[in-house]
Amino acid sequence: MARADRRLGRIFAPAGHNPVFGIYVHWPFCRSKCPYCDFNSHVRHGLIDQPRFVRAFTAEITATAARTPGRTVSTIFFGGGTPSLMEPATVAAILDAVAKSWRVANDVEVTLEANPTSVEARRFAGYRTAGVSRVSLGVQALDDEALSALGRTHTAREALAAVAIARRIFDRYSFDLIYARPGQTPAGWRTELVSAISQAAEHLSLYQLTIEPETPFAALRAAGKLAIPDPDHARNLFDITQEVCAAAGLPAYEISNHARPGAECRHNLVYWRYHEYAGIGPGAHGRLDIDGIRRATATERQPEAWLGLVESQGHGLVTDEPLSRAEAADEYLLLGLRLAEGIDLNRFEILSGGPLSAVEIAHLTRHGLVETTCDGRLRVTAAGFPVLDAVVADLAA
C-alpha cells in the first residue's frame, strides 16, 4: 500500500457489508426565518417548483447510489428548512427514487421534520401514505410569549394540536423544545418540561439556545438587547432537564436527546455512531465509505445554484474528500462522546491507528468526567456532560 494511502482511513467494512446506511434529504425552504436559526433555510416569495426539485433530488439519489452499490437503507430523514412544506407527492417521489436506487430494509425508519402549524398538520396523513413513519415537530416552547420572542409563527395551542394529530397518525413522533431562553426561570422551565413530557410519547429533543454568529439574535446580543442565561443559570436549567426527564423514563441517550429505551431516533444514531450516510439536496453533508475509505461530502447550499449544478452535471457536490485516519478518529470521538453509551475504544484505535491517550483518560477519570466500562467503552459521566466540549478537546489533543 502506498504511504499516502496508509494515512487515509482504510478501515471500514467492505462495500455492501455496512451495518446501517442512512439517507439525509434536505428541504431548504421555510415560510419565514427565525432570528436564532443558522440552518441552511431560505424564504422564497412565490411558489417553489416542487416537480423540478423532485427531478433534481432523483438525479442526485441516482448519482449517489452509483457510488454506493449494495447498501441497504436503514433510515431516511427529511430535514430542513421546513420539510413539512413539501407536498406529500414530493416526499413519495423521493422515497420512490430511494427504493429504485438501493435495497430498503423492511423496518426502515423514515422521519420528517415538521413545523407545528395547522396548515402543515393537514399534510400528515399524506406523509404517512407516502411512507413516512415518524415526525419530529419543532414546538420550541409551550409559552406564547416565548414563542413570539423566538419569532415563531405558531402558538403553543396550535403546536399541541399538531402534536395530537401526529399522535393519531404516526406510531412514532418527537418534538423539539429550546430552553435557556431569555428570562426563563428554573421553576418555569420545570413546569414547561413536565407539561411537554405529558404530551411526548417516547422522544424529546431539548436544545439549549445557542446564539449563532450572523443571526439577528447575535446582533441583538451584541447590542445588549438580548439577555440570555449566564453559564451558572444555564447549567441549572441543564441539570433540571436531566433530572425531570430521567424521572419520567426519558433519560438522555445523547446530550440533547431523550427517549424511552428503544425509542431513540435511529437516523441520528447513524451520525453519532459514525456509520455511513448519504446527504441529498442543497447543503446536505454525507460520509461515504468508498473503496474502504471514508469520504466527507457536501453539496452546494444555495437552492437555485444546487438545482443548476444537478441539472448540468447530475449532482450538486462541491466537496468530496477522503478523510485521514486522524480526521476520521476525531470525528468518531466528537460524535460518539455525545452519546450516553460513549465510544468503543477498540474502534477508535482501528480508526486512528493508535490508542486514545491513557494519560488523558486517567486524568479525566480522576476528575470524574469520564469512565471506562468493562466491555471496552469510554463514556462521559453525568458530571462530564455539562463540560463535554472541554472533555473532547482534552482527549482529541
| Residues of this chain that bind ligand SF4 (CB under 6 A) | 30, 33-34, 37, 39, 41, 80-82, 115, 138
Among 140, 174, 184, 268, binds ligand SAM (CB under 6 A): 140
212 contacts ligand SAM (rule: CB under 6 A): yes
Dist. CA 113–CA 80, nearest whole Å: 7
* From the list ligand SF4, ligand SAM, none, partner contacted by residue 190 (C-beta under 5 to 8 A by kind): none
Query: CB 225 → ligand SAM: shortest distance, Å?
Result: 17
> What is the smallest separation between the CB atom of 226 and ligand SAM, expressed in angstroms?
12
Query: Mapped to the 3 state alphabet, what secondary structure does the chain carry?
Result: CCHHHHHECECCCCCCCCCCEEEEEEECECCCCCCCCCCCCECCCCCCCHHHHHHHHHHHHHHHHHHCCCCEEEEEEEEECCHHHCCHHHHHHHHHHHHHHCEEEEEEEEEEEECCCHHHHCCHHHHHHHCCCEEEEEEECCCHHHHHHCCCCCCHHHHHHHHHHHHHHCCEEEEEEEECCCCCCHHHHHHHHHHHHHHCCCEEEEEECCCCCCCHHHHHHHCCCCCCCCHHHHHHHHHHHHHHHHHCCCCEEECCEEECCCCCCHHHHHHHCCCEEEEECCCCEEEEEECCEEEEEEECCCHHHHHHHHHHHCCCEEEEEECEHHHHHHHHHHHHCCECCCEEHHHHHHHHCCCCCHHHHHHHHHCCCEEECCCCEEEECCCCHHHHHHHHHHHHC
Tell me the closest approach of the beta carbon of residue 77 to ligand SAM, in angstroms.
11
Is the CB of 82 or the CB of 268 nearer to ligand SF4?
82
Query: CA–CA separation, 199 vs 168, rounded Å?
Result: 12
Among 113, 120, 158, 300, binds ligand SAM (CB under 6 A): 113
- Does 138 bind ligand SAM (CB under 6 A)? Our answer is yes
In the bound state with ligand SAM, the residue whose beta carbon lies nearer, of 133 and 140, is 140
The residue among 215, 223, 42, 36 whose CA lies nearest residue 141 is: 36
Q: Is 115 in the site for ligand SAM (CB under 6 A)?
A: yes
Which parts of 36-65 interact with ligand SAM (CB under 6 A)?
36-37, 39
Q: Which is nearer to ligand SAM, 102 or 217 (CB)?
A: 217
**Minimum CB distance to ligand SAM, residue 118 (Å):** 14
In the beta sheet, which residues pair with residue 235?
A: none
Amino acid in the structure at residue 212: E
Minimal distance, residue 178 CB to ligand SAM, in Å: 5
Is position 82 an interface residue for ligand SAM (rule: CB under 6 A)? yes
**Contact range with ligand SAM by CB under 6 A, out of 42-50, 118-126, 208-216, 297-305:** 208-216
Q: Considering CB distances under 5 to 8 angstroms, the limit depending on partner class, which of ligand SF4, ligand SAM, none binds residue 316? A: none
**Looking at beta carbons only, is 138 or 229 nearer to ligand SAM?**
138
Q: Is 268 in the site for ligand SAM (CB under 6 A)?
A: no
- Contacts of residue 200, defined as CB under 8 A and 6 or more positions apart, other chains included, come to 174, 175, 250
Tell which one of 95, 209, 252, 269 touches ligand SAM (CB under 6 A).
Answer: 209
Residues between 175 and 194 with contacts to ligand SAM, criterion CB under 6 A: 176, 178
- Residue 10 or 39: the one with the smaller Cβ distance to ligand SF4 is 39
How far apart are CB 119 and ligand SAM at their closest, in Å?
A: 13
Number of residues that bind ligand SAM (CB under 6 A): 16
Strands 257-259 and 252-254: antiparallel
Kindly indicate which of the ranges 205-213, 261-269, 320-328, 370-378 contains the residues binding ligand SAM, using the contact rule CB under 6 A. Answer: 205-213
Q: How far is the CB of 238 from ligand SF4 (least distance, A)?
A: 21
Q: How far is the CB of 155 from ligand SF4 (least distance, A)?
A: 15
Q: Which residues bind ligand SAM (CB under 6 A)?
A: 36-37, 39, 79-80, 82, 113, 115, 138, 140, 176, 178, 207, 209-210, 212
